[in-house]
Amino acid sequence: MSADPPRDPQPHSPAQGRTASYVGRFAPSPTGPLHAGSLAAALASRLDALAHRGRWLLRIEDLDTPREAPGAAEAILHVLSRLGFAHDGEIVWQSRRDAAYREAFERLHASGLVYPCACTRREIADSVVHAGQRQHRGELVYPGTCRNGLPAGRSARAWRVRVDDAHIAWCDRSAGRFEEALAESVGDFVLRRADGPWAYQLAVVVDDAFQGVTDVVRGADLRDSTARQVYLQRLLRMPTPRYLHVPVVLDARGEKLSKQTGAAAIDPARGVAALNDALEFLGLGTVATGSLERFWTEATARWARS
Ligand code: GLU
């Protein structure tokens, strides 16, 4: 995994000699307990921050209340702390950031970039088929049905942002350059559902800017979201962080482990053994120690060299 800027191979010393210019973060959605996949993403992001002697922040993405599991946020924070993930600053909870998302949404709305959409998922699927369009990456591309106004007698189900002819190029630190015409890959996308919740794409952009995040290190399942996020950063005049997407852990059927499909919870009592599984998954072997402190020092040195 190549880094830009170059890493300083100084190991674990979070309190001293910080690189002021590096701010990383881990941003779990509390839909269930931490599992092998989310632990690997957390470890990659923490090790990258340590290797850069940067700050590392936590954000709980508790926007989507119906999918949240009661107590999951606290359980995730407990496991991270037991495994020696030391975070900087206050934890940000998205459920408390309504005013910030509203302000960003209003700015986009005032620029004429946002419109209400009445379409159900079924209607979008039907019109995509009708127009002879294919799905892109397994996702429906919004065909723009409500772009020029809501059909008579229909009310808004969501608010979408126009993508017009936006062509987004961005760079992943490992996989290199990506280019995407948003009209072809996703179409005008949702910023808010009319029944309340803010969309992940809007909240993540507003919060990465609010927390001063310079480096996003996360699972490759989110790589396809990055162009939408870069687009919103540009519209909102917010900086674009560097991005590094790490492989996602798959289950026996080749599907991404997820909290919703019941991936096994990490048992914090396993200590270094749990961390070693994640480190090995990231291609950095295992550290022969029972000590969390030794694990973090050695794993950081390996990440810095990789
Ligand atoms: N909350 C997202 C998740 O748990 C991660 C968001 C991100 O890292 O951008 O999958």
Question: What's the CATH number where 210 sits?
Answer: 3.40.50.620
Q: Based on the fold, state whether residues 187 and 257 are members of the same structural domain.
A: no
Q: DSSP per residue over 48-93, as a string?
A: HHHHTT-EEEEEE----GGGPPTTHHHHHHHHHHHTT-PPPSPPEE
Q: pLDDT at position 89, please? A: 96
Q: Based on the fold, state whether residues 298 and 207 are members of the same structural domain.
A: yes
Structural domain contains residue 3: no
Query: First vs last Cα of the chain: how many Å apart?
Result: 6
Q: Based on the fold, state whether residues 115 and 148 are members of the same structural domain.
A: yes
Rounded Cα gap, residues 220 and 187, in angstroms? 21
Q: Based on the fold, state whether residues 104 and 72 are members of the same structural domain.
A: no
Rounded Cα gap, residues 116 and 190, in angstroms? 9
Q: Strand 55-60 vs strand 23-26: parallel, antiparallel, or unpaired?
A: parallel
Q: Return the residue whose CA atom lies nearest to atom 7 of ligand 1.
A: 27
3-state secondary structure of 211: coil
Supply the range of the domain harboring residue 167: 99-193
Structural domain contains residue 118: yes
**Distance in Å, CA 246 to ligand 1 centroid:** 13
3-state secondary structure of 286: coil
Q: pLDDT at position 125, please? A: 85
Q: Based on the fold, state whether residues 206 and 299 are members of the same structural domain.
A: yes
Q: DSSP per residue over 217-247, as a string?
A: EEEGGGGGGHHHHHHHHHHTT-PPPEEEEEP
CB 220 within 8 A of CB 245: yes
Q: Based on the fold, state whether residues 116 and 186 are members of the same structural domain.
A: yes
Residues of the chain scoring pLDDT < 70:
1-20, 132-134, 259-260
Structural domain contains residue 289: yes
Structural domain contains residue 234: no
Name every protein residue with a CB atom under 6 angstroms from any ligand 1 atom: 27-29, 61, 204, 218, 222
Q: pLDDT at position 3, please? A: 41
Q: Return the residue whose CA atom lies nearest to atom 6 of ligand 1.
A: 27
Structural domain contains residue 12: no
| CATH number of the structural domain spanning residue 157 | 3.90.800.10
Q: pLDDT at position 134, please? A: 62
Q: Based on the fold, state whether residues 205 and 173 are members of the same structural domain.
A: no
Q: Based on the fold, state whether residues 132 and 261 are members of the same structural domain.
A: no
Q: pLDDT at position 128, please? A: 74
Residue with tokens 């957390």: 42
- Token representation of residue 278: 């994640």
Q: Based on the fold, state whether residues 52 and 42 are members of the same structural domain.
A: yes
What's the number of domains the chain is made of?
A: 2
Q: Based on the fold, state whether residues 169 and 204 are members of the same structural domain.
A: no
**Which mutation among 26, 64, 218 tests ligand 1's pocket best, with the greatest number of atoms within 8 A of CB?**
218
Q: pLDDT at position 263, please? A: 86
Q: pLDDT at position 79, please? A: 98
Q: pLDDT at position 4, please? A: 43
Structural domain contains residue 90: yes
Q: Which atom of ligand 1 is nearest to the CA of 25?
A: 8
Q: Based on the fold, state whether residues 87 and 70 are members of the same structural domain.
A: yes
3-state secondary structure of 99: helix
Structural domain contains residue 204: yes
Structural domain contains residue 176: yes
Q: Based on the fold, state whether residues 186 and 75 are members of the same structural domain.
A: no
Q: pLDDT at position 2, please? A: 40
